[in-house]
Amino acid sequence: MTQTGVRVERQPLSRYTTLGVGGEAEIWFVETLDQLREAVSAPYRILGGGSNLVVADEGVPERVIRLCGPLAKADLEPDPQLSTAGDIVTGWVGGGTPLPGLLRKLQGLGLSNLEGTVGIPAQVGGAVWMNAGTRFGEMFGGLHSLELVTPQGTRTVTPDELDWGYRNSGIPRGEIVSRVRLRLRASTPPDVQARMTLADDARKGQPKMKTPGCAFKNPQGVAGKGAGRLIDEAGLKGTRCGQAMISPEHANFIVNLGGATAADVHGLLDIIRRQVPVPLELEYELWP
Ligand code: FAD
Ligand code: EPU
């Protein structure tokens, strides 16, 4: 029994990853900040929506924290103290809140700033950790402040205290995004919907199979080719390693054909690194 009554279960992480790969770990289903403080008292990893993860077939030795209950709920009431004429600042949104459902609610309320992230199957905490986004907008476009938990304690920061950028929040590894406040702007439901549709249309070429999204970040700094185009030009679409395949639809996506292993995915990542002439930075998080 844990001191704070956290539910702990040993389960395969393949159940919690969009790739459908990953061995067993001890999962801590954390619902309160007290439980979170207990959970970080021994080596841990924090799991979000599992949509950017390649977890080893052996699993991981650390406890795996999953935020749920109140830490997966959103208080979208504007905070009268923090909101201004232009900015609507919400109450706390738990790090475990599923991003797609949150965006749907914001659309219904006609609240703008985050709709460019539509289609990202993340939790809020994981999306903030990566500063997930598309060319239509990113998480840091709609954040007011973040609560971060570590074994040393809890701190609240604002985005301008972090060195964030493309697919990078600047949050030190190991710090858990327990809750955030959103910074939104008043719009109308149809206008938010129109911008969501635009961002969604840009996904038409992405595969609908089990995948952790784009494998590599797009090289930055030089106006030029993205990772997908580079992998495509290397002639690698459709390449298979076991039950994993470089998607014939979009070359920066690795898909699970059914029964793929982490080793299969690593095999494809090695092939890409060897055959693409430009150095590419991995976007996936590899566990361990
Ligand atoms: P996870 O995959 O569970 O974890 C990823 C990392 O975040 C890990 O290091 C984990 O420890 C850390 N983390 C998770 N939760 C927290 C937390 N509460 N506090 C601190 N760290 C945490 N990404 C984009 O940027 N743009 C896209 O357009 C996009 N499209 C995608 C489409 C598909 C179909 C899929 C499957 C993925 C896509 N992705 C995209 C990738 C992925 O959704 C993002 O990287 C997302 O940010 C991962 O969030 P997650 O909650 O699933 O995190
Ligand atoms: N392209 C190819 N071959 C391919 C794939 C793409 O030639 O196999 C070409 C396309 O024709 C297009 C260009 O490359 O001219 C860009 O492709 P796309 O519009 O699909 O965008 P991307 O740069 O590959 C980025 C993000 C996605 C995000 C989309 C939509 C990265 C690494 N990827 O993809 O994010 O959804 O834009 O905004 O930044 C993710 O990060 O996991 C992810 C899916």
Contact assessment for residue 231 and residue 251, using Cβ atoms and an 8 Å cutoff: yes
Q: How far, CA to CA in Å, does 48 sit from each of 65, 67, 68?
A: 9, 8, 10
Ligand 2: does its nearest atom lie under 6 Å from the Cβ of 147? no
Domain coordinates in residue numbering, the chain: 7-70, 73-201, 227-287
Is pTM, for the whole model, over 0.85?
yes
Atom number of ligand 1 nearest to Cα 45: 11
- CB-based contact 261:242 (threshold 8 Å): yes
Looking from the CA of residue 213, the nearest atom of ligand 2 is 42
H/E element holding 182? Answer: strand 176-186
Q: What is the CATH number of domain 7-70?
A: 3.30.43.10
pLDDT at 283: 98
How many degrees, rounded to 5, is the angle at CA 146 between CA 99 and CA 190? 40
Cα of 118 to ligand 1 centre, how many Å?
13
Give the model's pLDDT for residue 143: 98
Structure tokens at 165: 């950028």
Rounded to whole angstroms, how far apart are CA atoms 239 and 232? 11
| Structure token digits, residue 203 | 């996904």
28 CA to centre of ligand 2 in angstroms? 35
Write the CA distances from 212 to 53, 65, 93, 233, integer angstroms. 6, 19, 24, 22
Which CATH architecture group holds 227-287?
A: Alpha-Beta Complex (3.90)
Q: Which of 68, 181, 214, 241 is catalytic?
A: 214
For ligand 1, whether the C-beta of 256 sits within 6 Å is no
| Domain 73-201 sits in CATH 3.30.465.10 | yes
Q: Indicate whether residue 229 lines ligand 2 (CB < 6 A).
A: yes
Query: How do the pLDDT tens digits run along the chain, 288 residues long?
Result: 799 999 999 999 999 999 999 999 999 999 999 999 999 999 999 999 999 999 999 999 999 999 999 999 999 999 999 999 999 999 999 999 999 999 999 999 999 999 999 999 999 999 999 999 999 999 999 999 999 999 999 999 999 999 999 999 999 999 999 999 999 999 999 999 999 999 999 999 999 999 999 999 999 876 689 999 999 999 999 999 999 999 999 999 999 999 999 999 999 999 999 999 999 999 999 999
Residue type, 214: C
